[in-house]
């Protein structure tokens, strides 16, 4: 499988198993199926509320000799309530304990949004911190400290736009090595991709299939379905693949890591097989020229009337 290379030479498999929305009781088996199928990259996060079960699966895989720790690339993310410098390490240690690991290969600031300690999802103004209260630079200094301690090998962020990345880069020291954002043919993020490439920041695409299985409370009634797009369906027929495999291959052919989620054994295998699909240049051109634009994870749950944040804090507007 193709791998992405960090500036120090470390490599990350370009395709990983996503665990967002994987329910406790399902994710344990999904991780084991993925490892058995050949996945060596697992993407996690504290807020997914399933890291303890992922950790049990990893521990079983290690003890059974299915895989060695050094053969895996494990990513997790710092939640919004641990953005104060003194809380960053606490957030990581909770994740390491749940995953039953001594270090992470990659640790990301999940969102450029800060909550007060212990808040899962802020619902009132009093539960938020502002950028004046907790500057992003303070959080980044905490992340740099984790890397210098050897608790994480690489650091980066998720859902950061160009202006926020520039703010972090300007701080100096260890810079961001990864930016994980929603990406698919309806949200190609070309400007952000160009900026990250020019600044040595690798990228990971989340929700590459459109995240149709997320809660109805954060979905709009008229959302498009990537699987029904004519261009995608025609390419699936051309390559004797599924629409999902074409969507996964789309990111891989751009040199962008991709982390489709599944708890179905057959689909886990199918998703992995998408790494072997080499889309022709003219087919990539078709996908890059699809006129429809849509962001499935729009961040509006962080920017309501009780929030000090706006969508412009998240996306290029």
**Are the C-beta atoms of residues 3 and 72 closer than 8 Å to each other?**
no
Whose tokens are 């400290």? That residue is 145
Q: Which residues pair with 42 in a beta bridge?
A: 17, 74
Q: How many CB atoms lie within 10 A of CB 45?
A: 21
CA distance 89 to 101: 15
Tokens of 245: 């495999």
Which residue matches tokens 């990864």? 178
DSSP per position, 111-135: -S-EE-TT-SS--SGGGEE-TTTS-
How far is it, in rounded angstroms, from Cα 57 to Cα 51? 10
Distance, CA of 143 to CA of 155 (rounded, Å): 7
Just list the catalytic residues: 48
Angstrom distance (rounded) from CA 290 to CA 149: 45
Beta bridge partners of 114: 129
Helix (H, G, I), strand (E, B) or coil at 247: helix
Q: Is 154 one of the annotated binding-site residues?
A: no
> What end-to-end distance do the CA atoms of the chain give, in Å?
35
**Binding site as annotated, residues for substrate:** 110
**Binding site as annotated, residues:** 110
């Amino acid at each position: 499988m193709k791998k992405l290379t960090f500036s120090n030479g470390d490599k990350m498999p370009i395709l990983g198993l996503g665990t967002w929305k994987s329910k406790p009781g399902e994710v344990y088996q999904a991780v084991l199926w993925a490892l058995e199928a050949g996945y060596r990259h697992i993407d996690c996060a504290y807020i997914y509320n399933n890291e303890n079960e992922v950790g049990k699966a990893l521990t079983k895989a290690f003890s059974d000799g299915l895989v060695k720790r050094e053969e895996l690339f494990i990513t997790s993310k710092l939640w919004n309530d641990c953005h104060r410098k003194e809380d960053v390490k606490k957030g990581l240690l909770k994740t390491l304990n749940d995953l039953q690991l001594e270090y992470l290969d990659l640790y990301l600031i999940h969102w450029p949004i800060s909550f007060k300690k212990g808040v899962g999802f802020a619902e009132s103004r009093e539960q938020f911190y502002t950028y004046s209260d907790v500057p992003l630079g303070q959080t980044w200094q905490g992340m740099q400290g984790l890397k210098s301690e050897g608790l994480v090998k690489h650091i980066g962020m998720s859902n950061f736009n160009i202006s926020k990345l520039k703010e972090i880069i300007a701080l100096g020291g260890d810079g961001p090595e990864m930016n994980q954002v929603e990406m698919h043919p309806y949200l190609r993020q070309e400007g952000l991709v160009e900026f990250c490439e020019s600044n040595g920041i690798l990228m990971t695409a989340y929700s590459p299939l459109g995240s149709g299985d997320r809660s109805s409370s954060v979905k709009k009634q008229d959302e498009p379905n990537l699987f029904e797009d004519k261009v995608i369906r025609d390419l699936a027929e051309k390559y004797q693949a599924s629409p999902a495999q074409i969507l996964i291959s789309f990111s891989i052919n751009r040199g962008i890591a991709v982390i489709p989620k599944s708890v179905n054994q057959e689909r886990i295998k199918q998703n992995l097989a998408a790494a072997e699909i080499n889309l022709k240049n003219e087919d990539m051109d078709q996908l890059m020229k699809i006129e429809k634009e849509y962001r499935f994870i729009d961040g509006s749950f962080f920017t309501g009337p009780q929030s000090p944040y706006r969508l412009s804090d998240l996306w290029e507007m």
